[in-house]
Structure 1
Amino acid sequence: MHPFSILMLAVAMSTDAFAAAVGKGAAMRTPRFRDALRAGLIFGTIEAVTPIIGWALGLAAAAYVTAWDHWIAFTLLVLLGLRMIWAGVRPDGDPVAAEDAPLRHGFWVLAATGFATSIDAMAVGVGLAFLDVNILAVAATIGLTTLVMVTAGIMLGRVLGAMAGKRAEIGGGLLLIAIGAFILYEHLSGAA
């Protein structure tokens, strides 16, 4: 997998975490950098581990589906991209009142949110098992990108609000679909 594709995949995988972080930052009274970095570390760690788990699961099945691997990767990325686009256009509930806004989010709330936003990274890991990739490099890139994007998302949450997070999720979904199409093109044209 080309390094640029890995970076774009990491950005795409991080956009839903960024959207969640913007929402969490918007819901906090005054986000502090220390709290934003803590959230970034939690999300980034989870986001780095889940593609490795998915990759291991996909590797176990790789021998059975080698002829269809590029179609599987393409299908997973397109479906995940469409899910992210749907999440980006779906309307949300009422915003949190300022007096009810927390000063800081608890570890388990952040971990649960981080895991929820990393399910797509696990599915991408399954798809990557069918390709010739260094999963540790991909996972580290996803984790570091998520750390940066979540930290920035928490800090920008008050300023940007939930709408920017929705747009980021739509953009991430479109990026996943484009990566899936590129993988399919590489394999069908013999460029891989």
Structure 2
Amino acid sequence: MGFLELFLIALGLAMDAFAVAVCKGLGMRRATPRKMVLVGLYFGLFQAGMPLVGYFVGVQFSSAIRSVDHWIAFGLLSVIGVNMLKEAVKGCAGCSECDAAGTGADLSVRSMTALAVATSIDALAVGVGFAFLNTPILPAAACIGIVAFFLSMLGVKIGNLFGAKFKSKAEIAGGLILILMGVKILLEHLDVL
């Protein structure tokens, strides 16, 4: 897997964190650099850590299912992408569902940890896929974490400035990117590309 593919997967995975960061920004009176970095760190660290966990779980099973690993990677990325598209279509009127989940301006450890885990579950599944594809995990996890960090910071600022209109567009873009990357992996392993 090349850097461009890895970057696109990282971008797709970061869209959930970006969308929640937009909601965080909506709930803030002022998005200070400290608050933006704090949100970025939570999402970036969890987005980087979950693929590591998924990778080490996947390595335990990769030799047993080597012949279908590309199908598994395709399935995982496609399911994650389709779920992101469904969430985008459901919408978030004024981020009321975000506020109901307690994501407003609350930056407590409890709230941020829960959100960081929730938005990084997809990265766990991608880490399993990386194990099947023999992707070097440390550079992949670092790329995913860095992209999530910066997009989360940007999401807080955008939410604070412009509101929720970018949230569903980000989820749609992320979902489509993940589905396309899954298709690309499958086609490469089937020697179509």
TM-score by length of 2: 0.92
Q: Is the 8 A contact 2:14 2:151 kept in 1?
A: yes
RMSD: 1.8
Name the CA distance, whole Å, in 1 between partners of 2:104 and 2:123: 28
Q: How many residues align?
A: 188
Percent pairwise identity: 38
The reply to whether residue 182 of structure 1 matches residue 155 of structure 2 is: no
Paired residue for 2:131? 129
Name structure 2 gaps, 5 residues minimum: none
SS of aligned partner of 2:112:
helix
Contact 1:55/1:129 (8 A) holds in 2: yes
Structure 1 length normalisation: TM-score?
0.92
Distance 1:130 1:25, change over 3 A: same
- Once the two structures are TM-superposed, the CA of residue 93 in structure 1 deviates from its matched residue by 5.5
Q: Which runs of 4+ in 1 moved over 6 A?
A: none
**SS of residue in 1 equivalent to 2:83:** helix
Which position in structure 2 is the counterpart of 1:139? 141
Q: Which residue of 2 aligns with 1:114?
A: 116
Once residues 91 and 3 of structure 2 are traced to their aligned partners in structure 1, the CA distance between those partners, rounded to angstroms, is 35
Structure 1 segments unaligned to the other structure (5+ residues): none
Instruction: Report how far residue 55 of structure 1 moved.
Output: 0.7
- Asked if 2 retains the 8 angstrom alpha-carbon contact of 1:13 and 1:121, the reply is yes
Distance, in Å, in 2 between the alignment partners of 1:15 and 1:133 is 22
Equivalence for 1:7: 7
Distance change (3 Å), C-alpha of 1:153 and 1:70: same
- Residue aligned with 2:163, SS: helix
Please state if 1:28 is matched with 2:22.
no
TM superposition shift of 1:91: 3.0
Matches within 5 A, 1:60-79: 60-79=60-79
